[in-house]
Structure 1
């Protein structure tokens, strides 16, 4: 019996344990497989950071594409001109004046052409519409002198030209409108307090630490100038992706971060650098996030400071942001 059992066990072992011959891969294929595995490990360990919603200097990275109703920009033409870059603003500024002068210069030339002043201006007893206007260049110069009120006195309109008097009135009125609009755009663009925001500094990193026995998120803000920011207040937004209970994915969900709305700590007096603190409690959006989750999750804290420039009274709105890699 024992011998039979031994025979059966040997037989079973021969059936179940007999290994299958494994073909050995060539050396170059084994090296390629090892390098591929290393590449995957390195790629998994390096997490590509998400593009920031707002840059550190406050510039927004959102670009509006596929805008079909572009005519709406023309309905608010003044704001559109103010928001343009300086090179485009100066180009449009020059273009508007040159086109305006050329247009009225052409009208003055047409009047002189219809009246025959170009051929009879040298005849005695002939009274032209505009004296010494004998070419398109002189008409263009007269248009510039009229609109800019230079008044050299060499080219002057006569009283026997009613159509010229009407055109002079129209050019004076339209020229004043063009001057008011273009000079107003340049003045608003120059007086914008964007450069004032350059002297407002935000800390490069936000820190999570214990303060007064409370876990707090803290960052600093300071003003380099001696002039104060009137009615300065600060607020913060947490921007991260979120998936709702219905399965909807929101890529840029904005959540308010309480930095003193209830206590008035959001009102600042920036005579020296201040530490802005957010208590992480049950109402905080960071309450359910652990340190491991914060290291993995991509989010961004956008800080917005509001106030008025003391010297000009213009509103000021500097913006900064801190990404996940800037939170410790």
Structure 2
């Protein structure tokens, strides 16, 4: 029992360490923070308040919405109370029987708050209403009504925009848990499987990658997040994909590839992070979205390929079995790309016998005259 909990704790600690070491998590979130930002730079977020509100988490967004509504209701309730106090409409002033108040049936701060709530949300119970006695009350009524419409429009628009953001569409695009390296078409390739969980397509999809690693320049400068472009293709190209079924994208490990000098026994010793991007346009909304994930060295399996998941039923329908989506099968794979290319070069230099060639002996007679 103790051994089980120890192994569980070690695996959990290792997984947490991997998450902290990633720049991009498996679900596409960026693990980065900004420190020592100047105070005046923080006001830029307030200047772009719309984007700031959209980027907030739901709990903070709802806190701001509730605070905005309650704050505006309470602020205007104080103003309505002041109007009633100045006009001496409150019961403590003992108004006469023929006294016409600015707002009927405001007897204190509680009733002023209820009238402010009814005015801003246009409930209109009819028990409290503004009279023509005070021009200030009429002006305050108009101002609160306009401000209430603005607040409602902003809040409804922000909630609708938050729900319909293209990044939500990205939740239905999934990548395989691991990347694999094996031969494909006679070439050593790094393969990743990606699937669209919806039947609606992503139009004009484009797949590419970035390899993040620490490098040291010849001048001695250390670059922590050095980015190297990694090209991914499918059998039909890397643009305008027919993304109706799961696709296997692959990167050819040639002499220009950053994986060319890696081998099966040294790849786990490398410190890199492969970030894969998928850009496309949502078919239903025409909004662009980006899906991203990342793979570290421990998640790249050398000498494996993905198990098939697409089959055809007796009724003629195509079926996708997502149970095998991330399942891998071990296959025979060269130890490294350098070995594969050396093997091909060696075969190109080997001579072959022509079986159709026959050697014929020719008897030559040499006649000499003296």
TM over 0.5: yes
SS at match of 1:318: strand
Out of 239, 245, 253, the residue aligned to residue 212 of structure 2 is 239
Q: Which moved more, 1:66-75 or 1:201-210?
A: 66-75
Q: 8 Å contact 2:177–2:299 — kept in the other structure?
A: yes
Q: Distance in 1 between matches of 2:44 and 2:168?
A: 29
1:69-108 Cα distance to aligned partner (Å, 9 max, x none): 3222211111111111111111111000000000011101
Q: 8 Å contact 1:237–1:255 — kept in the other structure?
A: yes
Q: Distance in 2 between matches of 1:231 and 1:107?
A: 56
1:178-202 Cα distance to aligned partner (Å, 9 max, x none): 1121111111112224443232121
Deviation at 1:122, TM superposition (A): 5.2
Aligned residue number for residue 55 of structure 1 = 25
Deviation at 1:65, TM superposition (A): 2.7
Aligned residue number for residue 89 of structure 2 = 117
Q: Distance in 2 between matches of 1:267 and 1:206?
A: 23
Q: Distance in 2 between matches of 1:67 and 1:121?
A: 59
SS at match of 2:21: coil
SS at match of 1:317: strand
Aligned residue number for residue 310 of structure 2 = none
Aligned residue number for residue 305 of structure 1 = 278
Q: Distance in 2 between matches of 1:158 and 1:231?
A: 61
SS at match of 1:70: helix
Cα pair distance change 1:281/1:325, threshold 3 Å: same
Q: Distance in 2 between matches of 1:136 and 1:254?
A: 62
Q: Which moved more, 1:290-299 or 1:104-113?
A: 290-299
Deviation at 1:267, TM superposition (A): 3.2
Aligned residue number for residue 70 of structure 1 = 42
Gaps of 5+ in 1: 1-45
Task: Report how many aligned residue pairs link the two structures.
Answer: 281
Out of 158, 183, 198, the residue aligned to residue 171 of structure 2 is 198
Q: 8 Å contact 1:121–1:134 — kept in the other structure?
A: no
Aligned residue number for residue 25 of structure 1 = none
Q: Distance in 2 between matches of 1:130 and 1:92?
A: 30
Aligned residue number for residue 232 of structure 2 = 259
SS at match of 2:101: coil
Q: 8 Å contact 2:203–2:240 — kept in the other structure?
A: no
Please report the TM-score for the alignment, with normalisation by the length of structure 1.
0.80
Gaps of 5+ in 2: 1-13, 302-370
Please report the TM-score for the alignment, with normalisation by the length of structure 2.
0.71
